[in-house]
Each structure stands twice: as C-alpha cells, then as structure tokens.
Amino acid sequence: MAKINLTLRKLSDLIFHEANSPYVGYDRADLNRATVTVAGADVLTLGTPVFRAKSATANGKWAPVKANTALVTTNEFALVIADGLGEQLDVSGAGDHDVTLLVRGPVMVKDAKVRKSAAAVGLTVTADQNNLIHLLRAQGILPEITIA
C-alpha cells in the first residue's frame, strides 16, 4: 500500500491575531486571484513573501522575495495565504499561478513562519529577513514572535 504524506495547514498557522476572527477577516485586506510568477523549482507555501512595484496596475503580477534587491520602499509586499482554490496548499511549477494574498493589516502573523517561508524561496540572510519584517510592518502586517 502506498504511503501518503498529508500536511495539514490552516490560516492560524500564520495568523495569530486580528481585530476580528481570522475566519472572517473584516479588518485585513486579502487579494484573491492575484497572479504570482514562479521561476524554476520555487514553491509557494503558506506565508511566502511576495512583492511587486507599488505603481503596478490592479492586475500587476507578483514575484517571490528571493533577494535583498526587492526590499525597497518602492515595492509593496504581501504574504501567500492560499492557493487559487482558497486552500492552504503548496503551489509549485514554473509560470503564473493564481493565489490569495494577505496585503494589508491590521493583522499579527507568526514571525517564525514568515522567516521560514522566506528562507524556503531564497531569502536566507537574517538582516534581509529583518528588512522584510520592517517593510511588512509598514503595511500593517505585524510579524510577532510566538511560542508556536
């Protein structure tokens, strides 16, 4: 019999506090059906940081934050919170993918989850991750240190 590895994910693995219930999300700003361009073997998972130019059109494409060159104030940032079907499943394969993004707060997210997801796409230097955290805070996405 084949062994199946099932990884259960839920929004509370990333979000730990917002003014309203995490299941309602009235205060946070989500962007449904956002297009993220994935290159090579990158995998978008719950909490993966993405960016695009602030002057981008409403349908502007996003890309994973892989290098510190993306960490500038002329970009806007978001976190992947679901695949194109609204499930917290990984998205992989080169090309464009529809996902749901967390783009504005006020919302508190788990710092460790954001850092782990950033490292998974190549942003591994702690100083760069600190800059990402700073830029997310400016948009009301507040990565906070948590126990789990």
Does 19 reside within a domain?
no
pTM recorded for the entire structure: 0.84
Does 38 reside within a domain?
yes
Comparing CA positions, the residue from 79, 70, 74 lying closest to residue 46 is 79
User: Could you give the CA distance from residue 145 to residue 58 in angstroms, rounded to a whole number?
Assistant: 32
Does 52 reside within a domain?
yes
Judge whether residue 7 has pLDDT over 80. Answer: no
Tell me if residue 8 falls in helix, strand or coil. coil
Q: What is the pLDDT of residue 14?
A: 76
Comparing CA positions, the residue from 63, 142, 148, 83 lying closest to residue 112 is 148
Does 4 reside within a domain?
no
Does 148 reside within a domain?
no
> 23: Cβ–Cβ under 8 A, 6 or more apart, which residues?
11
State pLDDT tens for residues 64-119. 999 999 999 999 999 998 887 777 778 888 999 999 898 887 888 999 999 999 99
Task: Report phi then psi at 45, rounded to 5.
Answer: -130, 175
Does 15 reside within a domain?
no
State pLDDT tens for residues 36-50. 999 888 899 999 999
Q: What is the pLDDT of residue 8?
A: 59
Question: What is the total count of domains within the chain?
Answer: 1
Residue that is written with structure tokens 């970009």 in the block: 75
Range of the domain at 55: 26-142
> 6: Cβ–Cβ under 8 A, 6 or more apart, which residues?
none
> 133: Cβ–Cβ under 8 A, 6 or more apart, which residues?
111, 114, 143
Does 78 reside within a domain?
yes
Mean confidence (pLDDT) of the chain: 84
Does 73 reside within a domain?
yes
